Chain A
Amino acid sequence: MFKVRNLRFKYPSSKEYTINGIDFEIKNGEIFGFLGPSAAGKSTVQKILIKLLKGFEGEIEYYGKPLLSYNDEFYQDIGVSFEMPISFSKLTAMENLDFFKKLYKQTVDVEPLLKRVGLWDDRDKKAGEYSKGMKIRLNFIRALLNKPKMLFLDEPTNGLDPGNARIMKDMILEFKKQGGTVFITSHIMSDIDELCDRVAFIADGKLREVDTPRNLKIKYGKRMVKVEYKEEGSLIVREFSMNEIKTSAFCELLRDKDIETLHSGETTLEEIFIKVTGVTLRG
């Protein structure tokens, strides 16, 4: 769907390239996660892909044609949720949605969507009086207004309580099930792990990794098993490589000892993040 080759971008006001030569592809129907430390350029890349930032170098193809060759009808196809609240503060949520709806050819009925994210009862409240989490949910519905084929979600679950985050993640997964494609950034690794088919890590303007979460976990994990068991009142920890687990030493241990915990050495996205980007997670 999107093919990005040797993308470089510099803000007019800055000396250095924020994005310094990156390549990736977003395939039709996948959820593509874009990860990286704060200020690494995730939102910048999203803004380039949605044609807001135009002065980039390199090539971006959308369905096989240069992105910039599409006119504004391109926006009929996509839905965008920005990282900060975007609504007219003195209009109600419903008035906001009604205004934006009129700008599209094809639109959805917002009632079921608002009900789903729990905003229906507050639809006549001014958007400026919404709480942070309510504004984020409203952003998400705004992104869905035009039945998009592709969603761009910049930290969509940031600031949501676990219940609402669950609902939004379910909606994202359903969107994918119906054939939609998603570009998503987030600092919440468990969300990324759960949602994304593939993830890319960006740091210092370059992509460090692009792969499935599973492949990355295998690549960065240790191929081993850690066993903790009690022997004569004291706790013993032993590690076996994956090759050793068929040996009798390992099998006898499992049979004869009081095993307390058993862990495989596969790592978490969080640890991969730190290793790959060389930075600790914020917040």
Chain B
Amino acid sequence: MGRLLPLVKGEFDRLNKYNLFTANFVVLLFWVGLAFFFEGEELKMFVPVIFLMDSTMMTIMLVGASLFYEKQEHTMNSIMISPVTEDEYLFSKVIVGVLNSLITVIFISAALYFVKGVIYNYLLLIPAIIIVTVVHTMIGIRLSYHAKSFSSLLVNFMVYIFLFLLPTVFATLGIIDANLAKYLIVLPPEISSILIGALARDVELWKLLFGYTYLSVLSFVLYRFMIKPKFNEYIMRETGV
């Protein structure tokens, strides 16, 4: 595992050189700008959305972009013919995703404090951010397997959001009845939203416990059965190394 450090460092270096940090930062500024217009209860509703979007959507974008570049430039092959194992390589992506989300937490929290003077329950936010980011890094990697280009990754992402968010929207609108809506908690965006929402509103303990356990198991299952077995095939596919 001694190679994780150079992998993670290298990844950060590249996020910087490939201007992905800059892109991320612009989005964060946009969020802070929006937050400026909210007050009181509204702000309380809005802040979790920032963290949710960052740890789900931004996480998928960043890991997708980094895989896309490595595939396009074949550097993935160059890494795989070094002593780096597939596990080390994939873990480094997860670690980078988590660190990025935590950087966002620090940046947004500081900005909100200075602009709005508000402090939230970060004790509940940080573990939520970590688990949500881990799951979504996995989802991002898995979506990349199917993407022929970066734009098709975006399309995959839209489909993912659409499929998983739609039931939640239906439930809110009352199209799905309340009894059935209870089970929506098993959808990753829904449970992610509940866990992150805990920073600003009260959430029942069982939901938190269920959420953390469920997302941990889901991460493991995704990794073990959907990501690892297909990874070699993904490396070798298309362009023909």
Contact = CB atoms under 8 A, between A and B. Distances in A.
A95 B9 CA distance: 12
A102 B233 contact: no
Interface of B: 3, 6-7, 10, 13-14, 17-18, 69, 73-75, 77-85, 232-233, 235-236, 240-241
Nearest to A51: B81
Contacts of A102: 3, 6, 10
A78 B83 CA distance: 10
Contacts of A142: 78
A213 to B, nearest CB: 28
A103 B84 contact: yes
- Interface SS of chain B: helix
B83 to A, nearest CB: 5
A82 B241 contact: yes
Contacts of B236: 47, 52-53
B78 A86 contact: yes
Interface stretch (A24-32, A68-76, A220-228): A68-76
Closest 4 CB pairs of A and B: A102-B6, A103-B82, A90-B17, A86-B74
A86 B80 contact: no
A233 interface: no
Contact of A89 (B13, B73, B79, B84): B73
Identify which of B10, B14, B81 gathers the most chain A CB atoms within 10 Å of its CB: B81
A102 B7 CA distance: 9
A72 B80 CA distance: 9
A86 B141 CA distance: 21
Given A12-B233, A82-B74, A52 B81 contact: yes
Contacts of A50: 81
Contacts of A73: 83
Nearest to B17: A90
B14 A104 contact: no
Contact of B241 (A52, A90, A146): A52
A103 B74 contact: no
Contact of A99 (B6, B18, B74, B240): B6
Contacts of B241: 43, 47, 52, 82, 84
B77 A86 contact: yes
Contact of B83 (A47, A72, A80): A72
Interface string A80-117: 10101111111100010001101111000000000000
A67 to B, nearest CB: 14
A11 to B, nearest CB: 8
B82 A100 contact: yes
